[in-house]
């Protein structure tokens, strides 16, 4: 599994990318009709678009990605491989516990 692209990680990146592109596209369409349209908050096709939604997009994408990250087991060879690739935070002895307020969707 180390030598292939994980579909869940890729899906999280693609989801975030497409949500941002969709937001930007809606903004550009609306701006073409109304030059006073603000990026932070606008109406487009009877929907309310807000810049703060992008933070939600990031949280959702991060949760999808995090559910597809493999933590290291206790095998010495695997620990060395994780260290080689700078994945020390995924080695149990270095793990920091998630808190519900920091990453609420991780707990679903």
Q: Residue 90 belongs to what domain range?
A: 72-108
Among 49, 46, 20, CA closest to 37: 49
Identify the residue whose tokens are 């707990």.
107
Per-residue pLDDT tens over the stretch 74-107:
777 888 888 888 888 888 777 777 777 776 666 5
Judgement on whether residues 6 and 50 belong to the same structural domain of the protein: yes
Judgement on whether residues 65 and 83 belong to the same structural domain of the protein: no
Judgement on whether residues 17 and 64 belong to the same structural domain of the protein: yes
Model-level pTM? 0.72
- How remote is the C-alpha of 72 from its chain's centroid? 21
Judgement on whether residues 62 and 79 belong to the same structural domain of the protein: no
Per-residue pLDDT tens over the stretch 31-89:
999 999 999 999 999 999 999 999 999 989 988 888 877 778 777 788 888 888 888 88
Q: Which tokens hold the place of 36?
A: 């006073």
Q: What's the CA gap between 25 and 73, in Å, rounded? A: 44
Question: How many structural domains comprise the chain?
Answer: 2
């Amino acid at each position: 599994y180390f030598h292939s692209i994980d579909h869940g990680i890729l899906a999280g990146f693609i989801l975030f990318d497409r949500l941002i592109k969709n937001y930007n596209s809606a903004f550009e369409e609306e701006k073409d009709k109304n030059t006073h349209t603000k990026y932070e908050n606008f109406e487009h096709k009877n929907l309310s678009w807000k810049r703060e939604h992008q933070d939600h997009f990031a949280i959702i994408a991060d949760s999808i990605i995090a559910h597809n990250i493999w933590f290291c087991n206790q095998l010495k060879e695997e620990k060395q491989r994780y260290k080689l690739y700078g994945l020390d935070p995924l080695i149990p002895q270095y793990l920091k516990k998630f808190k519900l307020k920091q990453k609420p969707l991780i707990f679903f």
